[in-house]
């Protein structure tokens, strides 16, 4: 949500698309690599500070190391990531899916305080995601789970995605901590983001977002899910501001 503009700008128009390696894109390395490209739908996950206890992270890392060893890569080597990239594409893809699936299974185990199970707090996050939709970005689908958020959105340039994620987290953390009478960090610093590579992948992530509450065995009222059912063909004009 954040600051309210004094005058609403013209509706944002983006040619929603899957990642195109022939177009300009940016890769920013932080604790995780972040890829961004104008108009490309991105699958984004951010989670609460307490959503992954140290023992859970240690177990996930052990599984990742075991997978690498089974495929002839020593995870203790400084160049293990380069060796992984040298594997056949199907193996590298299977590694990415394996570690991602294991991570998401642990998220869906709902560790931590899970305060976003409270409808009023989840609504703070949902309202913030929707607030600048059509002005700063185009939001497709999202789900607010008790301890994490998944969303699909496209941004107008390569720098906008990380700045907007920081804005969402800063604003919602302040509002939620105020509602809880707490102080301190609420969200984990780095989120996960992945540029959607195809229309099929876009459909996969939309189904994943929609099915996430059932996988976590949540009841109605314990999550917030919304979908605009946008496609990747043609230019999508948001109705906000029109």
Residue 8 lies in a domain: no
Condensed to tens digits (0 to 9), the pLDDT of residues 148-193 reads 999 999 998 877 888 999 999 999 999 999 999 999 999 998 778 7
Cα separation of the two ends of the chain: 19
How sure is the predictor about 86, in pLDDT bands with cuts at 50, 70 and 90?
confident
Residues spanned by the domain of 77: 52-111
Task: List 47's β-bridge partners, or say none.
Answer: 148
Among 66, 88, 111, residue at a domain's last position: 111
**DSSP labels for 25-58?**
-EEEESSSEEEE-TTB-EEEEEEBTTSS-HHHHH
Task: List 26's β-bridge partners, or say none.
Answer: 36
Phi, psi of 140 (to 5 degrees): -100, -70
How sure is the predictor about 8, in pLDDT bands with cuts at 50, 70 and 90?
low
Question: If we measure between CA atoms, which residue out of 92, 169, 80, 158 comes closest to residue 124?
Answer: 169
- The pLDDT assigned to 242 comes to 27
Do 101 and 150 sit in the same domain of this protein? no
Residue 7 lies in a domain: no
Do 21 and 105 sit in the same domain of this protein? no
Do 84 and 187 sit in the same domain of this protein? no
**DSSP labels for 173-189?**
HHHHHHHHT--S--B-S
Residue the block writes with tokens 């309202």: 127
Condensed to tens digits (0 to 9), the pLDDT of residues 61-85 reads 999 899 999 999 999 998 888 888 7
Residue 3 lies in a domain: no
Phi, psi of 37 (to 5 degrees): -155, 135
Do 142 and 226 sit in the same domain of this protein? yes
Do 76 and 87 sit in the same domain of this protein? yes
Do 157 and 219 sit in the same domain of this protein? yes
Residue 5 lies in a domain: no
* 89-115 core/surface letters (b: 16 or more CB in 10 A; e: else): eeeeeebeeebeeebbebbbebbbebb
Q: What is the CA radius of gyration of the chain?
A: 18
- The pLDDT assigned to 237 comes to 41
Do 23 and 122 sit in the same domain of this protein? yes
Condensed to tens digits (0 to 9), the pLDDT of residues 87-130 reads 886 787 788 778 878 888 889 999 999 999 999 999 999 999 99
Cα 226 off chain centre by: 15
Domains held by the chain: number: 2
Residue 4 lies in a domain: no
Do 107 and 123 sit in the same domain of this protein? no
Residue 207 lies in a domain: yes
Residue 221 lies in a domain: yes
CATH number, domain of 213, equals: 3.30.70.1290
């Amino acid at each position: 949500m954040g600051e309210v503009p004094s005058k609403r700008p013209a509706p944002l128009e983006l040619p929603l698309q899957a990642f195109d390696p022939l177009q300009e894109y940016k890769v920013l390395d932080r604790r995780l690599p972040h890829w961004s490209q104008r108009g490309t739908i991105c699958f984004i996950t951010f989670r609460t500070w307490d959503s992954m206890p140290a023992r859970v992270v240690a177990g996930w890392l052990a599984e990742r190391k075991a997978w690498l060893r089974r495929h002839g890569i020593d995870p203790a080597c400084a160049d293990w990531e380069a060796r992984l990239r040298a594997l056949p594409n199907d193996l590298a893809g299977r590694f990415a899916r394996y570690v991602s699936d294991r991570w998401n299974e642990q998220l869906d185990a709902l560790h931590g305080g899970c305060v976003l199970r409270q409808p009023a707090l989840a609504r703070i996050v949902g309202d913030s995601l929707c607030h600048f939709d059509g002005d700063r970005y185009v939001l497709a689908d999202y789900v607010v789970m008790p301890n994490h958020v998944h969303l699909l959105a496209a941004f107008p340039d390569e720098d906008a995605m990380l700045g907007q994620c920081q804005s969402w987290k800063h604003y919602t953390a302040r509002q939620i901590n105020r509602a809880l009478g707490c102080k301190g960090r609420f969200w984990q610093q780095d989120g996960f983001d992945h540029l959607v590579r195809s229309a099929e992948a876009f459909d996969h992530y939309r189904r994943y977002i929609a099915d996430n509450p059932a996988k976590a065995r949540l009841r109605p009222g314990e999550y917030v899910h919304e979908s605009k059912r946008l496609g990747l063909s043609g230019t999508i004009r948001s109705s906000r501001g029109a």
